[in-house]
Amino acid sequence: MCCKLHFTCGNLWEWCQDWFIRDRNQIPKDGKAYTAPTGSKVLRGSCHHNVAVHCTNTMRYEIPPDNIDGCIGFRIALSLNND
């Protein structure tokens, strides 16, 4: 089975599972989410009306989890187990 990853940075800001922490050394190196509550969640991806420098998956922004904005959403992801 083939898996495709489509580049969608810039469509809307994406909520991430991670809690935001400024010290990047505390972020797990294995790709897992930082799960200790800090008061802010991570946003990635940018929005259609942002400048190009924001439209990368390496940029991390913090936002309170109860914040509402028309440019914030989420992406549904599916992991396939080929075992």
Q: What is the model's pTM?
A: 0.69
Higher pLDDT, 62 or 79: 62
19: confidence class by pLDDT, cuts 50, 70, 90: very high
**Domain ranges (residues) in the chain:** 13-67
Q: Tokens for 50?
A: 């942002």
What pLDDT digit, counting tens, does each position of 46-70 carry?
Answer: 777 777 776 676 778 899 989 888 8
The pLDDT of residue 57: 66
CA gap 34, 42 in Å, rounded: 10
Judged against a pLDDT cut of 70, whether residue 1 lies above it is answered with no
The pair phi, psi for residue 54, each rounded to 5°, is -85, -15
Mean pLDDT score, 25-42: 92
Closest to 38 (Cα-Cα) out of 14, 59, 62, 16: 62
In sequence order, the 6+-apart residues with CB closer than 8 A to the CB of 43 are 13, 14, 15, 16, 60, 61, 62, 63, 72
CA gap 81, 70 in Å, rounded: 34
